[in-house]
Chains A and B, each alone.
Chain A
Amino acid sequence: MASSLAPSVASLNGVEKYFGAVRALAGVDLGVARGECVGLVGHNGAGKSTLMNVLAGVLAPSEGRVMVAGQAQATWSTRLARALGIRCVFQELSLCPNLTVAENTRVFHTALRGFGWRRRAANLVQEKLDEIFPGHGINPSTLVQDLSIGRRQMAEVARAFTVTDEPLALVILDEPTSSLDARTAGQLLSYMRRRVAEGMSFILISHMLGEILGNSDRIVVMRDGRTVADDMAAHFNRDRLVAEMGGDNHAAHDASPFGVVRAARPVCVRARPRGQNGDSELVAHKGEIIGLAGLSGHGQTELLRAIFDAAPKGGGSITLDGPVSLVAGDRQSDGIFPSWSIARNITVGSLKALKQGALISPAREKEMAQRWQQRIRIKTPDMDNPILSLSGGNQQKALFARALASDAQIILMDDPMRGVDISTKLEVYDIIRQEAAKGRTFLWYTTETEELLYCDHTYVFRNGMIVAQLARGELTEEKVIQSSFHEAG
């Protein structure tokens, strides 16, 4: 199945992987040729990440063969993978937050030791950052914990391309742009294409189908632990990709407005970003979906947090009407309780409603969990399973369920759809609409312009301020990008 264009860098033959009784990979064949970028798409839980972990040597396959550099690898490990030039940028950020960017580079390279290692590590990663993300503004001696999430991802990507004593033949990028804004994502993808032209190979995993279609030479679609399509990128388009992935064919953006005149409804949030010049402010009427747009890290998250902190009564430049709930964007650190069950993770936001006397009623807790499992379609045999047994997308659904199950009338969403597959997204969009129709208000920060099409009104942020606002009818990607980069009006 491997492409016959050029000699294969790495290939997997009939790879199967079991976790207990669960079959995550059901006999996958995948080959990557020299100087080729393979796009890999599939729903969350289709097996992409497992497959990449096998290729990178993190997981041993239960069955099947790993061929690298023309040889079957009997004992495959991360160390061997690295020695043969295979690297992986994993989906969840894998930097050490307590170390500097340079020290993290040292962790990545056993060879960076001895006198002057820190300076060498700093130079190495600085050089790559300059090369991939010109104007990145990252100092290698900054602690990673002091960087924004976007910059952390930039540092991690740059680190993966640093070379000391090991070759670099194949880089696996697992959702590399999920925390990047449009500009830095573009820088990364064009860097990738330059390296492909020089003969390096890539596997690009992304839920942004446009990214896959625009940057891959070949596209492989995975579903239920196997590859279901493998073809030249030119033979694919968006519709075919979605169809192969088995996605429901929702009309992606049904632009029919809700048909409500804004002013006709009561205002329930009014907020001015700190440091706003002029008198622009964010206004949300009851039952509206409000979009917060702009490049990542330009004050959207800060405003959402300020609103959340001001709840329930408001204060300062924020007025509020109703209880508030927040769906976190960084679900690993701000969202889930990793050692709790799925049910507990959902019901923790509504403990008051579940009380019977002074205690929590297990029956009501169970009932609520069941209700939301059906409502939001969480894929699990048992809601009492640990939350970490769910795929990333389903974990995010559980966080939505937590917010929606609560009595909150105002739901704040901090770019919650990062790294979530398209069919999950479409399901959640539907639920957001239904809830908005019932009178809940959503403030939705998103880095994906497509999601803004679901919003009734969009505010564009730049440098911590609102620089433009667009009603549903006026919204176009160009306008958003334009106001993200230039002074409005």
Chain B
Amino acid sequence: MTTPVSANSTPPLGSSFDHAAAASGRSLWHLAWLRLKRNRAAVAAAIILGLIGLMVIFGPLLSQYDYATPHWERISAPPSMETGHFFGTDSIGRDQFVRTMYGGRMSLMVGLVATGVALVIGVAWGAIAGFAGGRVDNVMMRIVDILYALPFMFLVILLMVVFGRNILLIFVAIGSYIWLDMARIVRGQTLSLRQKEFVEAAEALGVRSWVIIWRHIVPNLLGIVAVYVTLTVPKVILVESFLSFLGLGVQEPGTSWGALVNAGAQDMEFAPWGLFFPAAFLAATLFCLNFLGDGLRDALDPKDR
């Protein structure tokens, strides 16, 4: 996945080095990109992810059916090209292909939005704690520790049961739990960045703390954050699927991959395609995201330069 950061926004070793690096086109990001391109597994994963993304967005246009209309005369029909039910139909005759694409939209959207929530909270929390240090750091990280020790899945289940299945609530609930890891990682990284000369120089020049965090700390965190984001999205998709599987996620007739797997598992003895297609899409997406995250981590690892 590309990162929207230009070469000159990341001064790894002070600005004179940076000019030389930009001139020869070998910045951290450029090198990382070159290394990522050489990693065939990661490139393949990115391409497959792109295809899945295109499919879930445009796939429903290929079908004459919509995701909500039941066809009572074609209940649990097997996949067939003639009828246009490419993935068959479900237990009330809805087109499984369109539903799988729709479920994919939902799963991917939950993954991206909740990761976005986690990203904003986690980076802000971690960077402030790491930069401020001392008592502020202590209190902030103690809060993270306490939240970390809670069995969060159970509280999320409780939340869904209590307030009904609300898609907005899913985003908030998952995002508000998954940021803890992000905060810890960002804090650790900030602590080490804080010791670097360019931060010291900025402090000596009297640059305000907020500006230092925003202009100098956060851009240097992007590498580790990018890796972490690609590894968080599959985690979130998994949590949403888990909730949907328990019947607590998205509400009918809307759907997600987890909800489809749940429905498919109930009829698998006579209609295995209902389980197979959503499960395959879910697994392929998680697989590719994990591969891509690993590739990114290797590509951004400065030890391998």
Task: Decide if A and B are genuine partners.
Answer: no
